[in-house]
Amino acid sequence: METNSNTKREITMTEFSTPLGPMLAGATNEGICMLEFTNRIKLDKEINELQNLLNAIPVEGRNQHLDQLEIELQEYFEGKRKTFEVSIHTPGNDFVQSVWKTLQEIPYGTTCSYKEQAYKMNNPKAIRAIATTNGRNRLAIIIPCHRVIGSNGSMTGYAGGIDKKKWLLKFERENSEIPDGNLFK
């Protein structure tokens, strides 16, 4: 017999329009737990994993975190916002948390390689594990995994699509104060 102790929490979900197409956003009471392009590879699997991690069910709607995210995304796409302040909820183990924290330290308008990210984490032998964890990031743009490129400058591994990754990098480069580097040479 089921009891109320099995009551699931909710992930409030809504869709936002962006210059790159629609994005699906989700938030718990703690913060934003998902922001993905609706055509992301394996989006359904990602939503199911998040539901399991949080013991939650998705419900359509809005909350204060989603309202704040909508404003911050609009500012980002206007070139006015370089970092996000909205609360985030990123379930995961210590390794996952450290990978995503390192991603958030990559300055707007710049890139780094997976190898550089591994060295920054003092874990140079974990390049593959770090790259895999980058790919499991559920907060596109907020946790900027699009800023990580191959050591040879190649545009690798972005579940939202390489075209979106290139667009985001070019957009950030054009809206940053950082002198133009050799990103697209």
Active site residues: 145
Q: How many angstroms separate the CA atoms of 149 and 146, rounded?
A: 8
User: Cα 77 to chain center, whole Å?
Assistant: 15
For 72, other C-beta atoms within 10 Å of its C-beta total 19
Characterise 105 by phi-psi region: left (phi > 0), alpha (psi -120 to 50), beta (else). Answer: alpha
Q: DSSP 3-state assignment of 66?
A: helix
Q: Look up residue 168 and give its two tokens.
A: 């985001």
Q: Is the sign of the CA dihedral 35, 130, 148, 102 positive or negative?
A: positive
Residue pair 182/153 in contact (Cβ under 8 Å)? The answer is: yes
Tokens 């996952």 map to which residue? 96
